[in-house]
Amino acid sequence: MTNQAPRFWRSIPQRYNLSGTHCTSCNEYFFPPRNLCPNCRRGAHLEEYTFKGTGTIITYTTIYNATEDFERLTPYNLAIIQLDEGPKITGQIVSSSAGVKIGMRVRPVFRILGKEGDRGIIYYGTKFAPLLEPSCSEEKTGDK
Amino acid sequence: MVSGIVSYGVYIPRFRIRLDEIARVWGDGEEITEGLQVFEKSVPDLDEDAVTIAVEAARNALQRAGVDPKRIGAIYVGSESHPYAVKPSATIVAQAICTSSSFTAADFEFACKAGTAAVQACLGLVGSNLIDLGLAIGADVSQGAPGDMLEYTAAAGGAAYLIGSRDLAAEIEGTYSFTTDTPDFWRREGMPYPEHGGRFTGEPAYFKHVAGAARGLMERMGTAPEDYDYAVFHQPNGKFPVRVAKMLGFSKKQIEPGLIVPMIGNTYSASCLIGLAATLDIARPGERIFVTSFGSGAGSDAFSIRVLDKIDDIRCGAQSVRDYIGGAEYLDYAMYAKHKGKLRI
């Protein structure tokens, strides 16, 4: 039996799609979602907001010695990413053969975040990969 | 009612292993790659499975045509590597692409043709006006036992098709299936790797069913190979689709754009659907595409597709198959074994 399923289930919107909040009074975005705007307090108007997921790497580190759940992934890169809307979040960087660089633009990708052993649930969620554009849209831009 | 493809999206993991490298480990000669006509295959990342691949393909399909996911009334995910034995992949995909809760969903399994069976199910629901849009996905991280012939081709990838009746990029003019009980390939409950009947997977399985479905559809529609600009057949290796095309009267030129197995291997439920996507990536309005899948066990689904004007508007909305084929990162066998979970720590 698992006792983690409800905790995981409650955070699915944030893990799958970076669902946060936005204060329309001061135009600040929050991730994870807040139900109080620290700037506007009683004058806040908060709405649900799903982040685009694109952002810029502020800083990063490479993990060589991980906890048991992540030791199969080593070495892996963990970065602080500033989303285009403003909030900074921590996320793993994948699919980057050129390595990770500060200032690199990234996009969200859907990956396995962890597994509850061989019998428990699989946690899915968002990691980040270098931003790519479809090649034919680049060709179109080049034509202009 | 005219039904067809509103949008499509694919996803192919960026890692590859060259078949020469697999042959080096098992002491097989170069004749293996020449015989299979497959030279490298895609390998999933350590944190990818059929669900993550299905989600990426589905997001590409939505992005390509700017479709509102709330319109989707059915999601069917075809795979033979669903990560859960009991718990649908389709519900995870739905949540990840932000559908409403008002949709029907199920996971399909029919070896390599579960994805095209999902397309047919969506066509039925759209055609009978029960739903606005259906999402049909074929996605796999297929398995081959170390040293087995399957290990040379078992790859990973996914393709998603939005099936509807308005704003069509391509019309599905007709579909026909050919199905029998043929034990050419199977995996028993709880077993990590599938078994197969060796040469028995050829004539009585692949060729009989692909030819049966293809001829059945052309007969029903009154068409012939020369009526089509392109053809796509299921690609377990590089030889079978070329041979079945020749048997049926299709030319090499017709199958060339959709023949992707030499570069990425057999992506199982996604194989023929990625081949179709590669063809849609270059097809012009008015052109016709003939598609036939194959699933061991065994059955084939054939489709006659006519490309419409809308294709030019959506083509550049997401990564193409060639985008995914390029930019590959190569692994040696040790890293491949780690990626595929063949190493038990």
User: From CA A29, how far away is CA A27, in angstroms rounded?
Assistant: 7
Q: Which of B48, B56, B80, B287 is catalytic?
A: B80
Per the annotation, the verdict on B34 as an active-site residue is no
CATH classification (class only), B4-169+313-339 = alpha beta
Structure tokens at A129: 């990969």
**What is the phi/psi pair of residue B208, to 5°?**
-60, -45
Tell me if B159 sits within 8 A of B276, measured CB to CB. Answer: yes
What is the structure's pLDDT at B343? 81
What does the pLDDT read at residue A2?
A: 64
Domain boundaries, chain B: 4-169+313-339, 170-311
The token pair at B324 is 């995914």
Contacts of A111 in chain B (CB under 8 A): 45, 47-48, 52
Across residues A85-99, what is the average pLDDT? 90
A134 shares contact with chain B (CB less than 8 Å): yes
Judged by a CB distance cut-off of 8 A, whether residue A58 touches chain B is no
pLDDT in tens, chain B (345 residues): 899 999 999 999 999 999 999 999 999 887 888 899 999 999 999 999 999 999 999 999 999 999 999 999 999 999 999 999 999 999 999 999 999 999 999 999 999 999 999 999 999 999 999 999 999 999 999 999 998 999 999 999 999 999 999 999 999 999 999 999 999 888 998 888 888 888 888 889 999 999 999 999 999 999 999 999 999 999 999 999 999 999 999 999 999 999 999 999 999 999 999 999 999 999 999 999 999 999 999 999 999 999 999 999 999 999 999 999 998 999 999 999 999 988 876
Nearest CA in chain A to B312: A136
Q: Residue A136: its chain B contacts at CB < 8 A?
A: 315-316, 320
Task: Count interface pairs A-B at CB distance under 8 A.
Answer: 64
What is the C-alpha to C-alpha distance for residues B132 and B69, in angstroms, rounded to an integer?
11
Mean pLDDT value across residues A71-76:
91
Q: What is the pLDDT of residue A142?
A: 42
Superfamily of domain B170-311: Thiolase/Chalcone synthase (3.40.47.10)
The ipTM assigned to this model is 0.95
Query: How many angstroms separate the CA atoms of B308 and B290, rounded?
Result: 15
A 10 A CB-CB count for B53 gives 32
Q: For residue B96, give the nearest of A16, A97, A134 by CB distance.
A: A16
What domains, with CATH codes, occur in chain A? Answer: 18-50 (no CATH), 52-131 (2.40.50.840)
- Cα–Cα distance for residue pair B76/B90, rounded to 1 Å: 6
**Mean pLDDT score of chain A:** 90
User: For residue B142, what is the DSSP state?
Assistant: -
Six-digit token string for A81: 């990413």
Contact by Cβ (8 Å): B194, B154: no
Domains B4-169+313-339 and B170-311 are alike in CATH topology: yes
Instruction: Give the nearest chain A residue to B327 (CA atoms).
Output: A97
pTM > 0.80: yes
